[in-house]
Amino acid sequence: MKPKHHFISHYPELVLHFGPLIRLWTLRFESKHAYFKQCARKLHNFKNLSSTLAERHQLLQAFLSAGNFFPPAVVVEKGTEFYLEDYNNNIRESVAHHTFEPENTLIAREVIVKGTKYKKNMFIMIDNGEEGLTLGKIKVILIHRDSAVYFITEKHLAVRLLDIGVHCLTLSQKRYCCVNQENLLDYYPLPEYIVGDMAVIVMSALGEEIKGIIVRALPNLSEETQLQLISRLQSSGLESKEDLKYVQQEDVADLLPVIQLRKLLDAFKSGIVNMARPSSLPSTSSSNLSELSSPDSRGFPSQLSKTWPETFQVPWDHMPLEIRSAIANGKRPTPAERRQMVRVLADEMRKYEANPTRSQCLTVCQKIVRQYPQSFADVFADGSLMAGGHTSLLIQVKTRIENLNRDSSFARHRTPRCSGSSSVRKRGPTDTYGCTRFQPDLPPSETDDSVEQKRQRLEEIHRQEGASGVERAEVCSLMETTFCLLRRHINAIPVPTIEDIRSKWPYLFNQRCIYAHFELLTDLNVLRLLELAMEECGRVIIEYFQSKSTNKDVQAVLSQGENTDVALNVVQLLMAYFTETTNGLILLADVNKILSEITLISHSGGTERVTAGRWMISLEGHVLFEGIQPTFVTGLPALFSVYYIFNLQYQDEAACTLEFIQRRFIGINPERGTKASRGKTVSKRTGRVVQKKSVTVNPRVSTLLKNLIDFEPAHTSS
């Protein structure tokens, strides 16, 4: 063993005595030891050396923490160009009256303005009108023309709760606004606290200081009790932190046990608890925006220290002539020409870094798509972008780089992040994926009690009239009014069973109400969208597979002859193309079988030609409901809706087909996240259990979408 390696043999015993070894970590001491040895060698003075080293070290610490003597007005660590087209319509409308361009505007994660730090999700005071105090939740921070700071905020109304002395937040109807930092009612940003089901804020900076003292003295105190203490102290006339020494035991005796109360009063009076104040003098390593501007400069974004992907210049001069011609004419290059371009691009990127990360490749691909969207963007027939428009190019570039590095020692499989253990489970991004009203607020003029009464009214109608009551206009109105309560029930942790939901919401399990609930959840009419998609591109997809595909499974489906139901034929072809078995999504059965038999069907996945006579949807071994109309094109949207309504992930057996339907037919195209399941799965190629890669768009889905985009113009022109 090498010197010091014998320490490893002592680790088990140390763990038993001291717990996690991080408590014995001495690397910081090693670093300080090296500094002190270097100081001693350079001083050449060993009289009272300990005093000299202590003084020098203290001066060093003071220098490192002081920053600039005259701190800049605006400090930002790092920023990226602001592209308006990357954001939704609400944000676009909020900045419509501003001249924000990539050349003059940056996006920052956080910014320090005159010593005050602003970060995303903090609250700032915008207006005080007739409706009350309006606060803005910071969503985007913009730095415009050297030093002007703007916040794109989500507007909230703040209602003061007199019993606990804080302000409760409610969402405003006009969602977003853009405000200049200089126009704020108060410069101090406020954090949000969650107390039960409420989102609240404390309006005073003094309240934040008091909260800091309370947390340091009583770290295990609940947040609700903290807010009650702050409210009680402020209502008693507390005006500054120095007034805490006048607080008496009887002032807050009803809020804390005796021992905790004595600890808190001791902290108030003795001053042993020190508040962590935000530094008004930032580090010298920060970028001073006010010093970056110059008379002959186009603007500060080009002068900020950027990473190489942000300054990367695509070598268009070295590209094939066909690529340059396609760009000049605004046309899409052929797949072969595009592959040549990717080779040149990957070689140029590897001059900066031998194995660029996916994030670095994404930055380069986004710039290319923004510069030449007609030639490289992933767009649908209606002109809308698919997941930002850069997915297929990103996959090609990253795949090319991985192929070039195949024989090298670069670690391409990075360690997954380990989620810390927590007793409280929360809904993740997979559940909210694609939803615009995942957990809405109560309707105006409604309360929890009134909505619950309307839910009970729905149960009463169902007991009296059964499933036929769904035709009543009152039922439709009540289902819409109680939508927020239903979402709260479905989104609860632990997850309720289907039978539990059915017992309280019997009318949800109906084709008509499934469509309506999905539309409230996503703002999309799923039935109409699928019908239009089949009319517009169903035949094109079939002809694409007839002329282009060499897949044996696809050929087997085509050999059966065309089905009269275009939607069923398209789904069968898609599942064959993605090497997914039909029974992964659809169980085929005799139309005359009873429901109890159908729930137990396990179809073997044969190749016989089938016709949809009737349909029903099964989940957790139970039939949810049977379709009113017997056509497959009415059953498919109901099946797709169930995944979003009940927060289900796409099963591995049909994940690619469902994602294709989601992106191409329904038009749900988030730029982040996925509805596909994560974790480990069995590889279709090797048969081994492998860790699934988490990607926004499945590469096979992206490839098929790109091929269809290239196929449709040629198909229409012929």
- Establish if 263 belongs to a structural domain: yes
616 and 646 in a single domain? The answer is yes
255 and 375 in a single domain? The answer is no
Cβ atoms < 10 Å from Cβ of 325: 13
109 and 153 in a single domain? The answer is yes
State residue 448's pLDDT score.
86
DSSP 417: P
Domain end point (choices 44, 66, 88) = 66
pLDDT band of 679, cuts 50, 70, 90 = low
Residue type at position 448:
D
Domain end point (choices 41, 66, 91) = 66
Q: Which tokens sit at 125? A: 């005071």
SS3 assignment, position 629: coil
- List all residues 6 or more positions away from 204 whose beta carbon is below 8 Å from its beta carbon: 234
* Of 381 and 85, more confident: 85
- Establish if 626 belongs to a structural domain: yes
436 and 582 in a single domain? The answer is no
Rounded-to-integer distance, Cα 218 and Cα 226, Å: 10
Rounded-to-integer distance, Cα 388 and Cα 429, Å: 18
- Establish if 531 belongs to a structural domain: yes
57 and 100 in a single domain? The answer is no
702 and 674 in a single domain? The answer is yes
224 and 334 in a single domain? The answer is no
Residue that the structure tokens 């390593």 belong to: 285
pLDDT band of 310, cuts 50, 70, 90 = confident
State residue 206's pLDDT score.
62
* Of 590 and 413, more confident: 590
- Establish if 309 belongs to a structural domain: no
Residue type at position 36:
F
CB-based contact 90:306 (threshold 8 Å): no
Structural domain including 649 reads 526-717
190 and 255 in a single domain? The answer is yes
Mean per-residue pLDDT for 514-530?
Answer: 89
- List all residues 6 or more positions away from 343 whose beta carbon is below 8 Å from its beta carbon: 400
Question: What is the pTM (predicted TM-score) of this model?
Answer: 0.48
390 and 537 in a single domain? The answer is no
- Establish if 60 belongs to a structural domain: yes
- Establish if 305 belongs to a structural domain: no
Mean per-residue pLDDT for 182-206?
Answer: 77
DSSP 685: T
Share above pLDDT 70 across residues of the chain, in percent, rounded to a whole number: 78
Q: What H or E segment, with its residue span, contains residue 572? A: helix 566-577
Q: Which tokens sit at 66? A: 């002081």
- Establish if 41 belongs to a structural domain: yes
79 and 46 in a single domain? The answer is no
85 and 152 in a single domain? The answer is yes
Rounded-to-integer distance, Cα 570 and Cα 544, Å: 11
* Of 66 and 83, more confident: 83
Q: What H or E segment, with its residue span, contains residue 149? A: strand 148-161
CB-based contact 394:377 (threshold 8 Å): no
* Of 316 and 623, more confident: 316
The domain total for the chain is: 5
| CB half-sphere exposure, 510, CA atoms < 13 A | 17
- Establish if 519 belongs to a structural domain: no
Of 199-213, 288-302, 406-420, the poorest mean pLDDT is in 288-302
61 and 78 in a single domain? The answer is no
Q: Residue 350, by phi and psi: left (phi above 0), alpha (psi -120 to 50) or beta?
A: alpha
Mean per-residue pLDDT for 2-12?
Answer: 72
Query: How many angstroms separate the first and last alpha carbons of the chain?
Result: 74
